[in-house]
């Protein structure tokens, strides 16, 4: 198996925990890092968009009495962001 060397800077706390895990398991630090990366990268993550997060928080449509097309109708944008 061909391998590629990478360099990563970590905080002192992470370096200490890595050494502790390496000693506890008897695996080299590189092996511990490889296993951690493999586990992290193999997790089936679904990336949530900002829209998804805002919708889940109940913030979409929460402005009472506002027009339903407030965020899409260009007539409401007239003067928006302009200094007076």
Tens of pLDDT, residue by residue over 28-43, are 999 999 999 999 888 8
What distance separates the 2 farthest-apart alpha carbons in the chain? 67
Number of separate domains in the chain:
1
Q: Is 7 within the bounds of a domain? A: no
Position 26 scores a pLDDT of 97
Q: Is 23 within the bounds of a domain? A: yes
**29-42 helix and 12-25 helix, angle to the nearest 10 degrees:** 100
pLDDT per position as a tens digit, 10-20: 999 999 999 99
Q: Which residues contact 79 (CB under 8 A, 6 or more apart)?
A: none
Domain that holds residue 66: 12-77
Q: Is 41 within the bounds of a domain? A: yes
Q: Is 5 within the bounds of a domain? A: no
pLDDT per position as a tens digit, 49-72: 888 888 889 888 777 888 888 888
């Amino acid at each position: 198996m061909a391998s590629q060397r990478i360099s990563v800077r970590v905080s002192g706390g992470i370096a200490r925990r890595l050494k502790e895990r390496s000693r506890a398991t008897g695996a080299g630090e590189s092996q511990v890092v490889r296993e951690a990366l493999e586990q992290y990268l193999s997790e089936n993550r679904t990336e949530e968009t900002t829209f998804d997060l805002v919708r889940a928080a109940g913030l979409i449509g929460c402005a009472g009495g506002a027009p339903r097309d407030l965020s899409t109708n260009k007539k409401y944008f007239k003067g928006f962001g302009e200094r007076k």
